[in-house]
Amino acid sequence: MGEGKRMGGAWGAWGPWGPCGATCRGAASGTGRSRSRRCDSPEPSTHPPGAACEGDATETRPCEELPPCPQDGSWGAWSEAAPCAVTCGLGVVTLRRACDAPPPRHGGRGCHGNATRRAACGPRGACPAVPEWGAWGPWSRCSRPQGPPLSCLPAVGQQRRSRACEGRAPGGPACPTAPGGGAFQVRACYDVHQCLLSGNWSDWSPWGLCTPPCGASPTRSRVRECRPVHPPYPPTVTPVSSSDPVNVTFWGVPRARCPLLDGQRLRLEETRPCLHVLPCPPPDED
């Protein structure tokens, strides 16, 4: 048998457009709609083989009627820091950034985080030390610049104490003037150091902790102490050079004398056993 006539294929009619592959129009794939056709009007012959249809079997177009897709915003780069405002040591500058890479569009979310941040700048060399007052030294003994000793007498004396301006550089600023005085303080006083004064017994102190804290026969104690009573000296005095009275302070550690209490004159201690104490844990074998 002889071969038939060679026939090329021809496209049939386009089918209907399919639905859109998304609910919004954006850069992502699959947001368009497509239609297809078949090479069957007629199909290419097979014996002998005919030419296939030329062109594409499918066609796609964007869904122009869809709304644009939301686009979330992203932070841009941090701005360059402003010049450091300090002349010594470390300073602080504020950096800023904008949500513009890209900005949010079509209902997209804004950037998450802070638009500003603080950063250190410098250093620009060590700063000079800031002078400040040190701690007060002890008060001197209560005395008079000229005159007999004042110990155990109702006579007003004087005390001094001092402090240093620490951290001051040569030729630099001095320590600021403080409400409590500058480098020196002076106060009026009565000298009762080691003076024998009448005393009163204190109330009982709270019970102390058990000693030892565990094991057999721990005890705890409380005490009463003989405390001196300052004599009824005038609490203020008016200096010759001023019309304003000043306070007078008792200075020193006096000795107290109290009535005999259970055979004691200075300190009375009461001890009692501790109850329900846990046994001590065994020592480590190591």
The string of pLDDT tens digits covering residues 169-187 is 776 778 887 766 788 899 9
Instruction: Please compute the mean of the pLDDT values over residues 108-123 and round it to a whole number.
Output: 88
Residue appearing with tokens 């109330």? 203
DSSP label at residue 86: -
Is the confidence at residue 196, as pLDDT, over 70? yes
| Higher-confidence position of 169 and 108 | 108
Give the C-alpha separation, 213 to 231, whole Å.
43
Q: Which residues contact 15 (CB under 8 A, 6 or more apart)?
A: 35, 36, 37
> What pLDDT is recorded for position 286?
44
CA distances from 205 to 208, 223, 230, 253, 267 (A): 8, 6, 22, 21, 12
pTM listed for this prediction = 0.50
Say if strands 32-36 and 58-62 run parallel, antiparallel, or are unpaired.
antiparallel
Q: How far is CA 200 from the centre of its chain?
A: 49
Average pLDDT, the chain: 86
DSSP label at residue 105: B
Structure tokens at 119: 């950063």
Is the confidence at residue 208, as pLDDT, over 90? yes
Instruction: Please compute the mean of the pLDDT values over residues 15-44 and round it to a whole number.
Output: 81
Structure tokens at 179: 């409400």
